[in-house]
Chain A
Amino acid sequence: MTHAQLQNLAISETGFVFDPRTGATFTLNPAGLTVLVALRDGLALDGIVARVHERFEAVPAGSARQDVVEFVQLLRQHGLVPASFTV
């Protein structure tokens, strides 16, 4: 199930993110955008990693998983997901 906070984010195709709750804005690179959209689509970790590999063939097999976990930590730090959110 996708967290409500993720559903409320305004996300553009160019990676611009607006959090209507706080007024904060962020920019994402293509990989970050892929992960955030996958999170909002409600995918679990395996599904997100699979989507990253689909979009970015050059990503090494082992690192994508760790990158996603670290990205979610960034989202927690910036308040885009609650501190208790896990993937």
Chain B
Amino acid sequence: MLQPHVIAVTGLNATDNPAPGVGVLRSLRADARPGDRLVGLAYDALDPGIYAEDLVEDVFVLPYPSSSGDAYLSRLEYVHERAGLDVIIPTLDAEMPAFIALQPRLRAMGIAMLLPTREQLDLRSKATLPRLGARADIDVPRTAVLTSAQELAHVHERVPYPLLVKGLFYGATLAHTHEEAVAAFHKAAAQWGLPVIVQECVQGEELNVMGVGDGEGGLWSAVPMKKLMLTDKGKGWAGITIRDPELVATAERFVRETHWRGPFEVEVIRDRSGRYWLIEINPRFPAWVHLATSAGVNMPRAVARLAAGERPAPQPDYEVGVMFVRISLDQVARLEDLERVLTAGEICRREHERPTRPLVGAA
């Protein structure tokens, strides 16, 4: 009989640019075993996922991973003491280095994760993507890695205009002129530090594929998706699963070359000639993760099982033509839950910890 798990998930921000956490929780909940418990790990008191009572039982607020490593570990130790974690699924780029560094200590505490090594994480960074592309036989648009705005004066000799100016972790601004590129450089550097990446803007269709690497060079599963609608921030607000063997093969080559361990998302542009250009590799689930679950492949559940030492059989098949359309809805939340998050930094619904009287002054 399969053992239940206590699984913690980060990334509970679900606003107009949602993190993957709520989608991961939905997938885990869809395939919950008797005795399973889902725990949310939040960074902000108004992260919407905190208040999704149907998805998550307990919630704990964490300090930002950029804060002291000791403070971060100490808080995780407390959460483990309270909730008895079996698995953690991190879903945010910014916290990956911290969790990777803490993996041995968390493992010693009995908490499993399915994460890449620091080397693997760095290999798919925007700054080193061309090198990965060469190794894995995946085309990458012309790219320059810059550490000063002065380098922009001659970057057009390597990367033609219009070009994309990208922060190390997030963001991309299209620049048609040197002046625009300089402004975008400073903005990216201020937000994410150096280096700043400059990349050729390839015209074509944007496609995404989400998958899980087993850490041994094998692809556990991959599901490609085409965005049907974009927000003004360029985020997919609707999408559909497609049949794209070349895109799946790209994911396979990435996993085989890196021996990637854990979830990932590969973003490509398919140009008019049908050539695939690697744009980015995200080292975690995307926000549309639940689409793959709806197409028959529950990757969050697989990650939890693989992390816990189980060996679920790979799932290469999925249903084509499954669509998602994201919705904004006003989730009603309890004022008492906000109180608990702000004052205690946690909510433990499973212990039915509710105040015995309403907040004084509440209407």
Q: Which residues of A contact B (CB under 8 A)?
A: 8, 10, 18, 20-24
Residues of A within 8 A of B205 (CB): 22
Interface flags, B224-243, vs A, CB<8A=1, else 0: 01101000000000011111
Q: Is B179 an interface residue (CB 8 A)?
A: no
| Nearest CB of B to A12, in Å | 12
Cβ–Cβ contact B243 & A21, under 8 A: yes
Residues of B within 8 A of A24 (CB): 226
Residues of A within 8 A of B225 (CB): 23
| Nearest CB of B to A23, in Å | 3
Interface-centre pick from B225, B239, B242 (highest chain A CB count, 10 A): B242
Residues of B within 8 A of A10 (CB): 321
Q: Is B244 an interface residue (CB 8 A)?
A: yes
Interface-centre pick from A8, A10, A21 (highest chain B CB count, 10 A): A21
Cβ–Cβ contact B321 & A21, under 8 A: no
Measured CA separation A20–B243 after assembly (Å): 5
Contact A18-B321, Cβ < 8 Å, known A23-B240, A23-B242: yes
Q: Which residue of B lies closest to A10 (CB)?
A: B321
Measured CA separation A23–B228 after assembly (Å): 8
Interface-centre pick from A8, A10, A18, A23 (highest chain B CB count, 10 A): A23
Q: Which residue of B lies closest to A8 (CB)?
A: B243
| Nearest CB of B to A3, in Å | 16
Measured CA separation A24–B240 after assembly (Å): 9
Q: Which residue of B lies closest to A21 (CB)?
A: B243
Q: Could you tell me the dominant secondary structure of chain A's interface residues? A: loop
Measured CA separation A4–B69 after assembly (Å): 56
Between-chain CB contacts (< 8 Å), 21 pairs: A8-B243, A10-B321, A18-B321, A20-B242, A20-B243, A20-B320, A20-B321, A21-B242, A21-B243, A21-B244, A22-B205, A22-B226, A22-B242, A23-B225, A23-B226, A23-B228, A23-B239, A23-B240, A23-B241, A23-B242, A24-B226
Measured CA separation A10–B321 after assembly (Å): 9
Residues of A within 8 A of B239 (CB): 23
Given A22-B205, A23-B242, A24-B226, 9 other A-B residues pairs in contact with their CB atoms under 8 A: A10-B321, A18-B321, A20-B243, A21-B242, A22-B226, A22-B242, A23-B225, A23-B228, A23-B239
Residues of B within 8 A of A21 (CB): 242-244
Residues of A within 8 A of B240 (CB): 23
Q: Which residue of B lies closest to A23 (CB)?
A: B226
Residues of A within 8 A of B244 (CB): 21
| Nearest CB of A to B237, in Å | 14
Residues of B within 8 A of A22 (CB): 205, 226, 242
Q: Which residue of B lies closest to A19 (CB)?
A: B242
Measured CA separation A19–B118 after assembly (Å): 39
Residues of B within 8 A of A8 (CB): 243
Interface flags, B311-332, vs A, CB<8A=1, else 0: 0000000001100000000000
| Nearest CB of B to A53, in Å | 33
Residues of A within 8 A of B243 (CB): 8, 20-21
8 Å CB contacts to A: which residues of B214-259? 225-226, 228, 239-244
Q: Which residue of A lies closest to B227 (CB)?
A: A23
| Nearest CB of B to A49, in Å | 32
Measured CA separation A24–B226 after assembly (Å): 9
Measured CA separation A21–B248 after assembly (Å): 12
| Nearest CB of B to A76, in Å | 13
Interface-centre pick from A8, A10, A20, A24 (highest chain B CB count, 10 A): A20
What 9 A-B pairs have minimum CB-CB distances, sorted nearest first? A23-B226, A20-B320, A23-B242, A20-B243, A23-B240, A18-B321, A20-B242, A21-B243, A20-B321
Residues of A within 8 A of B321 (CB): 10, 18, 20
